């Protein structure tokens, strides 16, 4: 990839916003720099479905024309939005041309909040069809991991993660129904936050995956993740405070049978536990009460979510990928059998609440992934069972916390022997988003990570 040198490409969202507010940079120049980088680099990654080049410049000019930029926490920050989240003037793709809906007439609420904070939407990022898979590809191409283009950046917010890890944007919106922010964050060496239930407006599809799906952010630093979260949650930006001494439950137990945790992911948890102990926290080995029934009900919900979305949208299933058609068919069977029940989800939430209270534990530390991210290409052509088993085997740790509705964050913790990033997941009870980010900040301070994939932009000395 030819080297592209731009003053603001690679800068953090906080650096950019501070410079624009002070008048040290214009939003127009910042956005133009990033659009140039996207034009040069995205053909290799295919992170974006649509780039809003002209519209983004016009919106950046509007930011520059505002009299008072002091109240814009994301002033001039280029941001990417996942393609299942309506952006006015752009079709909502949901991962494939067969599912695409007409041009959206208005922004989703989270997009409205981002724009209201001064951010400029430069484009929408790719995802797998209906957001069903932890790999991101379709007939038009595969989204590639900037750390290793042969590998997937994860899914379903795979395009968002690839864009941030390569410096195409400093921060991206994603959403997470069974791990779709945290899995890509782990694959791409990013901070990925899934807020708890009803903290950020969801309104995703027909049922929001039965209430499991949440909007959140992917970023290269904890500070940017905290800033993005505050905007999405409609809060004033909060300064993260070093937490008191916490009691940290540490578990590497997979939440489903038949999953093998590999060495680098197990080592990452051990490293993170040592770092947290060094920061003054008490770490205790303790496994959440995962059950076989939980795994089966979670899978049934995954299947039935596809069925509900297809029914609500009136999709012609013949136009969908074979793996998606099969997933919908199994979902219809699960729905008709009554295998997806709100009472079961609430029972698991109650069980998780008791787990944290009875320890008592302030947070839970787990692996982010169980294995290396799979290769990038051809998943849309492969069988349903191949997709199902691959996703379950490499990324099983995120889903229980969607079912519970608890917040969770993924944090980078180093590199695997093969050079890919490795991360850990930190989970907390309802309302603990800022605590989780504070813990993530302690890990960042104790073991700073490489913000972008090797060979991609670094923060220039003149930035900020």
| pLDDT, tens only, 131-152 | 999 999 999 999 999 999 999 9
Tokens describing residue 460: 């220039």
Q: How would residue 459 be classed by pLDDT, with cut points 50, 70 and 90?
A: very low
Tokens describing residue 45: 């990654």
| pLDDT, tens only, 155-174 | 999 999 999 999 999 999 99
**Of 196-210, 324-338, 398-412, minimum mean pLDDT range:** 196-210
The neighbour count for residue 7, using CB atoms within 10 Å, is 14
Q: Clarify whether 82 is annotated catalytic.
A: yes
What beta strand segments (E) does 20-179 contain? 48-51, 78-82, 91-92, 101-103, 120-125, 137-138, 141-142, 171-176
Q: Say whether pLDDT at 3 is over 70.
A: no
Across the range 433-444, mean pLDDT stands at 98
pLDDT confidence of residue 462 = 40
Q: Clarify whether 156 is annotated catalytic.
A: yes
| pLDDT, tens only, 109-130 | 999 999 999 999 999 999 999 9
Tokens describing residue 77: 């920050």
| pLDDT, tens only, 327-369 | 999 999 999 999 999 999 999 999 999 999 999 999 999 999 9
pTM over the 0.85 mark = yes
Q: Say whether pLDDT at 78 is over 50.
A: yes
Q: Say whether pLDDT at 26 is over 90.
A: yes
SS3 432: coil
Q: Clarify whether 236 is annotated catalytic.
A: no
What beta strand segments (E) does 12-165 contain? 48-51, 78-82, 91-92, 101-103, 120-125, 137-138, 141-142
pLDDT confidence of residue 426 = 99
Residue of 156, 230, 305, 432 with catalytic role = 156
Q: How would residue 238 be classed by pLDDT, with cut points 50, 70 and 90?
A: confident
pLDDT confidence of residue 239 = 86
Residue of 96, 157, 180, 305 with catalytic role = 180
- What are the structural domains, with CATH classification, of the chain? 13-446 (3.90.1300.10)
* 230 in Cβ contact with 236 (< 8 Å): yes
Q: How would residue 207 be classed by pLDDT, with cut points 50, 70 and 90?
A: confident
pLDDT confidence of residue 325 = 97
């Amino acid at each position: 990839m030819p080297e592209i040198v731009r003053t603001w490409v690679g800068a953090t969202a906080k650096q950019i916003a501070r410079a624009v507010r002070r008048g040290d940079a214009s939003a127009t120049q910042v956005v133009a720099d990033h659009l140039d980088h996207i034009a040069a680099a995205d053909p290799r990654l295919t992170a974006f479905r649509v780039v809003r080049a002209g519209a983004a410049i016009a919106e950046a000019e509007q930011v520059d024309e505002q009299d008072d930029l002091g109240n814009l926490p994301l002033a001039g920050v280029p941001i990417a939005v996942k393609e299942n989240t309506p952006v006015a003037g752009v079709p909502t793709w949901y991962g494939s041309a067969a599912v695409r809906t007409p041009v959206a007439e208005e922004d989703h609420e989270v997009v409205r909040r981002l724009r209201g904070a001064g951010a400029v939407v430069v484009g929408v990022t790719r995802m797998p069809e209906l957001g069903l898979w932890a790999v991101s590809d379709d007939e038009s191409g595969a989204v590639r991991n900037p750390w290793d283009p042969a590998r997937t950046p994860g899914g379903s917010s795979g395009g968002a993660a690839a864009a941030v890890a390569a410096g195409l944007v400093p921060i991206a919106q994603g959403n997470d129904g069974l791990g779709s922010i945290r899995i890509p964050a782990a694959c791409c060496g990013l901070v990925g936050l899934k807020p708890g239930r009803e903290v950020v407006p969801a309104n995703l599809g027909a049922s929001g995956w039965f209430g499991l799906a949440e909007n959140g952010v992917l970023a290269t630093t904890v500070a940017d993740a905290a800033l993005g979260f505050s905007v999405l949650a409609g809060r004033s930006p909060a300064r993260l405070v070093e937490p008191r001494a916490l009691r940290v439950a540490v578990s590497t137990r997979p939440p489903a049978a038949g999953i093998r945790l590999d060495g680098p992911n197990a080592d990452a948890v051990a490293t993170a536990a040592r770092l947290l102990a060094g920061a003054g926290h008490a770490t205790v080995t303790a496994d959440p009460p995962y059950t076989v029934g939980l795994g089966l009900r979670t899978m049934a919900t995954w299947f039935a979510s596809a069925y509900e979305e297809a029914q609500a949208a009136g999709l012609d299933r013949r136009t969908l990928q074979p793996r998606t058609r099969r997933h919908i068919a199994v979902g219809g069977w699960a729905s008709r059998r009554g295998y997806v029940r709100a009472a079961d989800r609430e029972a698991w939430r109650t069980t998780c609440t008791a787990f944290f209270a009875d320890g008592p534990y302030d947070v839970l530390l787990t692996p982010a992934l169980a294995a290396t991210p799979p290769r990038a290409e051809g998943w849309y052509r492969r069988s349903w069972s191949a997709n199902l088993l691959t996703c379950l085997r490499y990324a099983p740790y995120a889903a229980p916390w969607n079912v519970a509705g608890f917040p969770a964050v993924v944090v980078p913790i180093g590199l695997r022997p093969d050079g890919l990033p490795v991360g850990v997941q930190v989970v907390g009870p309802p309302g603990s988003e800022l605590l989780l980010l504070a813990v993530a900040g302690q890990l960042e301070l104790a073991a700073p990570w490489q913000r972008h994939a090797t060979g991609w932009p670094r923060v220039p000395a003149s930035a900020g």
